[in-house]
C-alpha cells in the first residue's frame, strides 16, 4: 500500500484514520508534506493554459454551503457541472484543490499571500499532475462511503448555474489501475491521502507514477521523495513496506526509485507472495454516551444482530434515557445505567437509570439469546429496585451486590435482587448460560454471605473472599453459591461459562493458601499479589482446576474468556519481570525490567482446558503503564483485548485506526493471533485527555464492541453517531469496529459494505422500508419475529456489495439463503472483483415468504486475500437473508451433521457430481429444493422433501460429527412399491460398514418405513458417510444414527 498525504502546514504527529475500503497488509506506505505556509481557505482551479483540463480560476467559484454534521474529514464532491466535465470528483482544502479525472489527478497548490523577493515575480499557484504510466486507460472510478454532508453552489442570480444537493464521499476508488492494484484517494483530519492497494500476486513494481508540473524530483538522504514546485516542496516520506507472517507484521526493505526526470517507481525486497493478506478492522461507529456529570461504561455485550448493551454509572440527572424505560429519573448520588444501542450506533433502543436513593454502579452485563440483559454491580441504597419473589428483596449490609435482569426492550425488570451479607460486597463480573442461569463473581467481607450446602467453600476465610454465585433463571434462588479464598485478601473480577455449565473466574489473591488443585499450572504464590484462574464445576461443588498465575512482584487478573475447547484466556496487569511467558510469544520480556516498580505491562495468557499448562502467555505493553481490563474470543481463537496505556510506544500495527498516543492515557484495542505469537491488529483509541477501555465483546459477524470512559473533548467519534460531542467532565464511550467477512464463512445479507447508493449497493426505491437496521441506507431491511434481519423484495437490477477476506486459494461454493412465493422466475447472479462468477441462478418458490432455502452454485475459484463480492438481482422478487461461501466440498450446513441424530436425505454434502453425490440422470426433476444439483428431490404434500427414485450405483455423501467412540444403530427412512429386490449399503470413510440390505415394499411410494442397517462402530471425530443404491428403485427421506 503506498500512502501519500498532501498537507498545507499541517505539522505534528500524524494520526491515521482507517478508511472504509480495506487496505492490504502487504503494502507500501509513504507520506507527502507541503513545506510552504498554508494559504487562505479557497484555492483556484488549474490555470488557463492547462493542456487537458479547463476549470474556472475565479476564486468566488469556491463559495458553497456545506452540511458536515461535525465530520472532520474532507469530502470528495461528485461533479454535477460545477467544474469541467472531465472531472469526476473534486475536493478543496487549505492550500489546495484536487481534481480527479479518469486518467489523472490534478493538484493545484496555492502559496501564501507573500511579497516576492527583489527581482522575482510573484507566483501564487502551482499545478502538479499525477499520471500512472502504463495503467488502464479507463479504470472504474467510484465514490465510497457516502457522507451525510451535501454541497450547494448558488452563484449569481441565474438558477440555471446553480448546483444543489451534491453528494460527497469519504473516498474515491480507481479499480484495477494495474492488474490486481487499486488506487484510492481519501482524506484524514483535513489532509489528503492516496493509497495503492496491492492485491495478492500483484506486482508492486508495475506502479510507475509520473508527475507533471514539478520542477524536479529527488530522493534525499532520508529516503524521502521531494518534488520541487514553484510555491514550495512536496515531500513524500520514505515508504514503509510490510507483510503479515504468522500474525506478525514483518518489515520489508524498499525504497523509491527515480525512473526518469518525472517518473517514480518502487523497489521492494523479496517477500512471501503466497501468504494470505490481512485486512485491518474498520471503525463502524464511535459515540459518547453521557450527560453533564461523570459517566462510565464498565462492561459491554453484543448480540447476534450487533446491538450493544452497556452497564455503568452516572452522577447527575441528565443522562439520556428513553421513553418507557424502567427508570427515567435519577435516584441518588450515583446511579447504575443500562443502555442498548442499535447496530449503527445512531440511536438508543433503550436507556435507563437503575438505582435507589444512595450510590449505585453497574459493573458487569451479559445478554441472552432473547435480548434480555443481566446486570450486576453494587448498591448502597436501601430502596434499590427489586422484584417480588426475588431471592433477596431487602438490603443486608453496608454495601450489597445486586443482580438484575432487564427485558429485551428495557421497559421492565424480569427480576432484581440484592446479593450480600452484613458487610461489604461488590460484583464486577456476570455471565449467563443458555438456560438463563446468571453467574456472578465479586468479593465480600461478610461472614454471612449466602452460600449453599455442598458448595466448594461455605465459610469465610480471609479479610475479603471471592464469591461465585449461580442465580436460577427466575432470580428467586441460588443454584449454588460459594466463597473462594484463603486467609488474606482475595478478589474476583470476571466470570464466564462454557456450554457444559462450568464457570471460569479470575481476579487476584494476596493469600498464600488460596485453594489450588494438584495438577494446576502454578500451585504456590510467587509475589505480593498474584492472579488466580479457577474453573468451577456445573454444580458449584468442586474445582476442576485452580491456579496461581504470577511472578515475583504484583499482578491482577481483570478479564477472562473461554473458547469452545475449554481454553481460558486471561488478561490484566503485571509488574513482574518474571511473569510466566511462553517461547515464541509476541512479547516474552517485561518492557522495563531495570525498573519494574516504575511501570506495569498488560498480559494475555491462554490456559489449557485442565489448567495444567500455558498454551501461550505474553506481555503486552510499552515503557510506562499498560493494563488489560477485558478479553473476548472469536470462533477462530483470536483474542481481543482492551484496557488503557500510558506508553507512547505501546505496540500498534501499521495502518491501524490510531497509531500514535493522543493523551496521557489512551484506550487500546488489540487482536492477538491464536498462537499468541503476534498481533493481527492493535490501535490506540483516545483523545487529548485520559481514555480507558473497560469492556470488549465480539460476535460471530466479526463486530467488535469496546466501551469505557473518556475525559477527552476530542475523543474520536463518527458522523451520525448517537452523541458526537462531550457533555460533561467525563463521559462513557462506545466504539464498534468490524473485521471484513472471512471466507469460508457466512455473511448476513444486511451487512453489506458501507458507501451508499451506487457504491455499496444499488436500490431502486428511496428509503429503508424496515427502518430498524441501518436506517440511513436505502436498502429495505425488515426484521423477522425471531430478531433476524432480511433484505426484502430484491428487485431486478438491484445489487449489494460485500468485502470478503479469503483465507486460502481454492475452489468454493456460494449459496444464498432466499425466499420467494410468487409465480415468477426470480434469478440472481454473483460477481467477484467485477467479473461474473456464476450464471443466472433460479430462486425457487419456497412456499412462503417466511421459509428460506439455501440456493447456489459451486466451482468458484478464489485466490487468497481481499475481494469484492456483488450479488445482483436478475429477476425480481425475492427476499435475501444471508450468503455463505464454503469450500466446494463441504458439509451442507457448513459444519458436520451431529450424531446421534437424524439427517434429511436431501441435505447431502456440497461438492457436486462425483464428489458429494453420483446421479445417473442430469438435472433435478423436482427442481424446487437445491435446483442446482443433479439429484432428483421431490416435495411431498406435507412439505417434506425426499430423494426420489434411487437408481443402481447412485450414492449420496454426508459429513458427520461423532461425539464419542461407540456402537451406533443406523436406520434409513425409505419407501418402495414395485416388486423389485431393491437394496442399499453404507460406507464410512470409504470402508463398508453394512452389508447389502433389502429395502422392503412399503405398500406405497408415499408410505415410509424405518429400516435398520445394523449397528456400526464409530470413533469420536469427523467422518464421511456414503449411502449407495445396490439395486434400484426406492425413495429415501432421511437416515438416523442412534447413540450407544
DSSP one-letter string for 678-691: -EEEEEEE--SS-E
Residue 62 scores a pLDDT above 50? no
Q: 746-887: which CATH architecture?
A: Sandwich (2.60)
Q: What is the pLDDT of residues 883-929, one digit of tens each?
A: 989 887 788 888 899 999 999 999 999 887 778 898 888 777 777 78
Burial 246-280 (b: 16+ CB within 10 A, else e): ebebbebebbbeeeeebebbbebeebeeebbbbbb
Omega prior to 877 cis, within 30 of 0: yes
d(CA 1008, CA 468): 52
Q: Tell me the pLDDT of the chain averaged across its residues.
A: 82
3-state helix, strand, coil in the chain (%, to 5): 0, 50, 50
Question: Strand 897-898 to strand 955-962: parallel, antiparallel, or no bridges (unpaired)?
Answer: parallel
Q: What is the pLDDT of residues 698-744, one digit of tens each?
A: 987 778 999 999 999 889 887 678 888 887 788 889 998 876 677 88
d(CA 914, CA 911): 8
Residue 148 scores a pLDDT above 80? no
Q: Which regions of the chain carry the CATH code 2.60.120.260? A: 746-887, 897-1042
CB contact set of 886 (below 8 Å; sequence gap of 6+): 744, 812, 813, 815, 894, 910
Average the pLDDT over each of 115-124, 781-790, 989-998, 1014-1023 and give the range with the smallest value.
115-124
What are the distances in angstroms from CA 504 to CA 494, 529, 777? 8, 20, 41
Q: DSSP alpha helices (H): ranges in 610-769?
A: none
| Highest mean predicted confidence (pLDDT) among 89-98, 114-123, 633-642, 918-927 | 633-642
Nearest to 895 by CA among 909, 883, 882, 906: 909
Query: Residues 145-167: what's their mean pLDDT?
Result: 74
Residue 981 is predicted with a pLDDT of 80
Average the pLDDT over each of 417-426, 504-513, 679-688, 846-855 and give the range with the smallest value.
846-855
Q: How does residue 618 score in pLDDT terms, banded at 50, 70 and 90?
A: very high
Q: What is the pLDDT of residues 227-238, one digit of tens each?
A: 777 766 666 656
Q: What is the number of residues in the chain?
A: 1044
CB contact set of 804 (below 8 Å; sequence gap of 6+): 740, 741, 742, 743, 747, 866, 867, 868, 869, 885
- Phi-psi category of 414—alpha, beta or left, where left has phi over 0 and alpha has psi -120 to 50? alpha
Q: Cell 460531542 identifies what position? A: 725
Overall CATH class of domain 897-1042: mainly beta
Q: What is the pLDDT of residues 5-61, one digit of tens each?
A: 332 222 222 222 222 222 233 333 333 333 332 222 222 222 222 222 222 222 222
Residue 20 is predicted with a pLDDT of 27
Residue 968 is predicted with a pLDDT of 95
Residue 186 is predicted with a pLDDT of 73
CB contact set of 865 (below 8 Å; sequence gap of 6+): 24, 199, 200, 201, 276, 277, 805, 806
Amino acid at each position: 500500500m503506498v500512502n501519500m498525504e498532501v498537507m498545507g502546514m499541517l505539522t505534528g504527529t500524524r494520526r491515521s484514520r482507517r478508511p472504509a475500503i480495506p487496505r492490504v497488509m502487504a503494502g507500501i506506505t509513504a507520506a507527502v508534506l507541503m513545506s510552504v505556509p498554508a494559504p487562505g481557505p479557497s484555492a483556484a482551479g488549474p490555470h488557463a493554459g492547462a493542456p487537458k483540463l479547463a476549470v474556472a480560476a475565479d476564486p468566488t467559484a469556491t463559495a458553497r454551503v456545506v452540511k458536515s454534521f461535525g465530520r472532520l474529514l474532507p469530502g470528495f464532491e461528485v461533479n454535477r457541472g460545477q467544474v469541467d466535465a472531465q472531472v469526476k470528483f473534486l475536493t478543496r482544502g487549505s492550500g489546495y484543490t484536487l481534481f480527479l479525472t479518469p486518467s489523472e489527478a490534478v493538484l493545484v497548490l496555492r502559496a501564501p499571500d507573500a511579497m516576492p523577493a527583489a527581482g522575482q515575480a510573484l507566483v501564487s499557484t502551482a499545478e502538479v499532475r499525477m499520471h500512472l504510466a502504463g495503467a488502464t486507460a479507463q479504470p472504474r472510478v467510484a465514490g465510497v462511503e457516502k457522507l451525510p454532508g451535501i454541497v450547494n453552489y448558488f452563484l449569481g442570480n441565474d438558477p440555471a448555474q446553480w448546483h444543489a444537493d451534491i453528494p460527497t464521499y469519504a473516498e474515491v476508488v480507481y479499480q484495477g489501475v494495474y492488474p490486481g492494484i487499486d488506487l484510492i484517494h481519501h482524506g484524514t483530519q483535513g489532509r489528503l491521502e492516496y493509497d495503492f492497494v496491492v492485491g495478492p500476486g500483484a506486482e508492486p513494481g508495475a506502479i510507475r507514477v509520473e508527475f507533471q508540473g514539478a520542477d524536479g524530483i529527488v530522493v534525499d538522504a532520508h529516503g524521502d521523495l521531494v518534488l520541487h514546485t514553484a510555491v514550495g516542496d512536496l515531500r513524500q516520506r520514505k515508504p514503509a513496506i510490510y507483510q503479515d507472517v504468522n500474525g506478525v507484521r514483518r518489515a520489508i526493505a524498499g525504497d523509491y526509485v527515480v525512473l526518469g526526470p518525472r517518473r517514480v517507481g518502487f523497489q521492494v525486497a523479496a517477500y512471501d507472495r503466497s501468504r494470505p493478506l490481512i485486512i485491518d478492522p474498520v471503525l463502524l461507529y464511535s459515540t459518547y454516551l453521557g450527560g453533564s456529570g461523570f459517566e462510565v461504561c464498565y462492561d459491554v455485550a453484543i448480540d447476534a444482530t450487533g446491538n450493544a448493551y452497556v452497564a455503568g454509572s452516572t452522577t447527575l440527572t441528565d443522562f439520556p434515557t428513553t421513553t418507557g424505560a424502567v427508570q427515567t429519573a435519577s435516584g441518588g448520588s450515583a446511579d447504575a445505567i443500562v443502555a442498548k444501542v442499535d447496530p449503527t450506533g445512531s440511536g438508543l433502543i433503550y436507556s435507563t437509570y437503575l438505582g435507589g436513593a444512595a450510590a449505585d454502579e453497574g459493573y458487569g452485563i451479559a445478554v441472552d439469546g432473547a435480548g434480555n440483559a443481566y446486570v450486576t454491580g453494587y448498591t448502597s441504597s436501601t430502596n434499590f429496585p427489586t422484584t417480588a419473589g426475588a431471592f433477596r428483596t431487602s438490603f443486608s449490609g453496608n454495601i450489597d451486590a445486586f443482580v438484575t435482569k432487564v427485558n429485551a426492550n428495557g421497559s421492565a425488570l424480569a427480576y432484581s435482587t440484592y446479593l450480600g451479607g452484613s458487610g461489604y460486597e461488590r460484583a464486577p463480573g456476570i455471565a449467563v448460560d443458555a438456560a438463563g442461569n446468571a453467574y456472578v463473581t465479586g468479593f465480600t467481607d461478610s461472614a454471612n454471605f449466602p452460600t449453599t450446602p455442598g458448595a466448594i467453600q461455605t465459610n469465610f476465610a480471609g479479610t475479603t473472599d471471592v464469591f461465585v454465585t449461580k442465580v436460577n433463571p427466575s432470580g428467586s434462588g441460588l443454584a449454588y453459591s460459594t466463597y473462594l479464598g484463603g486467609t488474606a485478601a482475595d478478589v474476583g473480577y470476571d466470570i464466564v461459562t462454557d456450554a457444559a455449565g462450568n464457570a471460569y473466574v479470575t481476579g487476584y489473591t494476596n493469600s498464600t493458601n488460596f485453594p489450588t488443585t494438584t495438577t494446576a499450572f502454578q500451585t504456590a504464590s510467587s509475589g505480593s499479589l498474584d492472579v488466580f484462574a479457577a474453573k468451577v464445576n456445573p454444580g458449584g461443588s468442586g474445582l476442576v482446576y485452580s491456579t496461581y498465575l504470577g511472578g515475583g512482584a504484583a499482578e491482577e487478573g481483570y478479564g477472562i474468556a473461554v473458547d469452545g475447547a475449554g481454553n481460558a484466556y486471561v488478561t490484566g496487569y503485571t509488574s513482574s519481570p518474571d511473569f510466566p511467558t511462553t517461547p515464541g510469544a509476541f512479547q516474552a520480556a517485561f518492557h522495563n525490567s531495570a525498573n519494574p516498580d516504575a511501570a506495569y505491562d498488560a498480559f494475555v495468557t491462554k490456559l489449557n482446558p485442565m489448567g495444567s499448562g500455558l498454551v501461550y502467555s505474553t506481555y503486552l505493553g510499552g515503557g510506562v503503564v499498560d493494563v488489560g481490563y477485558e478479553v473476548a474470543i472469536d470462533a477462530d481463537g483470536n483474542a481481543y483485548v482492551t484496557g488503557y496505556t500510558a506508553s507512547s510506544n505501546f505496540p500498534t500495527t501499521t495502518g491501524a485506526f490510531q497509531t500514535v498516543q493522543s493523551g496521557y492515557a489512551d484506550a487500546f484495542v488489540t487482536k492477538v493471533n491464536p498462537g499468541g505469537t503476534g498481533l493481527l491488529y492493535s490501535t490506540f483509541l483516545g483523545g487529548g485527555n485520559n481514555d480507558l477501555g473497560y469492556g470488549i465483546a465480539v460476535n460471530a459477524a466479526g463486530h467488535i464492541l469496546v466501551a469505557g470512559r473518556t475525559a477527552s473533548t476530542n475523543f474520536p467519534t463518527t458522523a451520525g453517531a448517537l452523541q458526537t460531542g462531550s457533555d460533561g467532565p467525563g463521559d462513557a464511550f462506545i466504539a464498534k469496529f468490524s473485521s471484513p467477512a472471512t471466507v469460508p464463512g457466512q455473511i448476513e445479507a444486511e451487512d453489506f459494505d458501507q458507501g451508499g447508493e451506487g457504491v455499496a449497493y444499488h436500490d431502486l426505491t428511496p428509503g429503508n422500508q424496515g427502518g430498524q437496521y441501518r436506517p440511513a441506507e436505502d436498502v429495505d431491511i425488515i426484521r423477522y419475529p425471531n430478531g433476524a434481519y432480511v433484505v426484502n423484495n430484491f428487485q431486478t437490477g438491484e445489487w449489494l456489495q460485500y468485502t470478503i477476506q479469503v483465507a486460502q486459494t481454492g475452489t468454493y461454493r456460494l449459496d444464498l439463503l432466499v425466499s420467494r412465493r410468487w409465480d415468477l422466475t426470480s434469478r440472481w447472479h454473483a460477481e467477484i472483483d467485477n467479473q461474473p462468477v456464476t450464471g443466472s441462478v433460479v430462486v425457487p418458490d419456497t412456499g412462503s415468504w417466511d421459509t428460506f432455502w439455501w440456493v447456489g452454485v459451486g466451482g468458484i475459484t478464489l485466490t487468497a486475500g481481499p475481494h469484492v463480492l456483488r450479488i445482483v438481482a436478475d429477476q425480481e422478487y425475492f427476499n435475501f437473508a444471508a450468503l455463505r461461501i464454503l469450500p466446494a466440498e463441504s458439509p451442507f450446513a457448513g459444519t458436520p451433521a451431529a450424531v446421534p441424530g437424524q439427517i434429511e436425505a436431501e441435505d447431502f454434502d456440497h461438492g457436486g457430481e462425483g464428489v458429494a453425490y453420483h446421479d445417473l440422470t442430469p438435472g433435478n426433476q423436482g427442481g424446487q429444493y437445491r435446483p442446482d444439483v443433479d439429484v432428483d428431490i421431490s416435495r411431498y404434500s406435507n412439505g417434506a422433501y425426499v430423494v426420489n427414485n434411487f437408481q443402481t450405483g447412485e450414492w449420496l455423501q454426508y459429513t458427520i460429527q461423532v461425539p464419542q467412540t461407540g456402537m451406533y444403530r443406523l436406520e434409513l427412512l425409505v419407501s418402495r412399491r414395485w416388486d423389485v429386490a431393491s437394496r442399499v449399503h453404507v460406507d464410512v470413510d470409504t470402508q463398508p460398514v453394512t452389508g447389502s440390505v433389502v429395502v422392503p415394499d412399503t405398500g406405497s411410494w408415499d408410505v415410509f418405513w424405518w429400516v435398520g442397517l445394523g449397528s456400526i462402530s464409530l470413533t469420536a471425530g469427523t467422518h464421511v458417510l456414503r449411502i449407495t443404491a445396490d439395486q434400484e428403485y426406492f425413495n429415501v427421506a432421511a437416515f438416523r444414527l442412534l447413540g450407544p
